[in-house]
Amino acid sequence: MRLWRDNSIDGEWDLPEEEIARRFLASDWADVAWPLDRALRAFMTDKGKGGLSSVWEDGAAYDRVFDIVLQARRDTREDTPR
């Protein structure tokens, strides 16, 4: 996924969607009691520890990150003993 660090034109960088999802799920943002889309976007723009401090063009790449995170959360729930 193409990102721009600190919303800077010369801060362009790439990170695979799977890695963005992995970093999000390992961050404190994954546990925030917000809707998933809001928490994921906050993580990606967060300049603090753990965030990506980046902006991106919305589209298929962001949708893929969202879907990977959503599936990982579903898998975790299914693996939890009842």
Sorted by where each begins, the domain ranges of the chain are 2-79
Q: What's the per-residue H, E or C state across 22-77?
A: HHHHHCHHHHCCCCHHHHHHHHHHCCCCCCCCEECCCCHHHHHHHHHHHHHHHHHH
Using pLDDT thresholds of 50, 70 and 90, give the confidence band for residue 67: very high
- The whole-number pLDDT of residue 18 equals 98
d(CA 37, CA 12): 23
**Is the pTM for the entire model greater than 0.95?**
no
**Paired strand residues for 12:** 4
Using pLDDT thresholds of 50, 70 and 90, give the confidence band for residue 21: very high
